[in-house]
Structure 1
């Protein structure tokens, strides 16, 4: 992550580091969310406080991932992979407005029959 950030300092328009930092935070979110589920489901004494801490940390990582993927999308607004990941992130964050905005951006690309309904 540190090297990707350094790359972006040198060239803020470099797509790959912005994209890969987003992926890092998305993966962190997945790990923390799974750990929160584990704490709630596996332990007989359910550790709700600890699970809530992991859920909060996972949500923070998801928000950071969204910021990084938005930066990647600003560099290459035609990258469907980035837009589809953003759509998924905003769905997970329950941010319908931003999710719909991404769907509109995908629909505007509209070629190859890949528009989103």
Structure 2
């Protein structure tokens, strides 16, 4: 029996990107290593940022995103932002929830394009 082709947007989701990443995916241990290294740099990051002004993009997320560019040979920040917008694996690795908006590729922190 053929199942119905139902198109319905959900109002709420209880699934996190981490739930969708296989337990044996190679990025899981890398993410743990990266998180440990970034935690050790936390005080250094705090010292680099001003006390006043608008919140920046967290440097931890920027660095994780840059690692994805290297690991998956993503050629530009524009392509990276596109992937981050819909790729649950990438969203999980960087630290985005499903609802978090993705940065614009032309933000000054991502100017190497």
Taking structure 2 as the reference length, the TM-score comes to 0.27
Q: Which has a greater percent of helix?
A: 1
TM-score by length of 1: 0.26
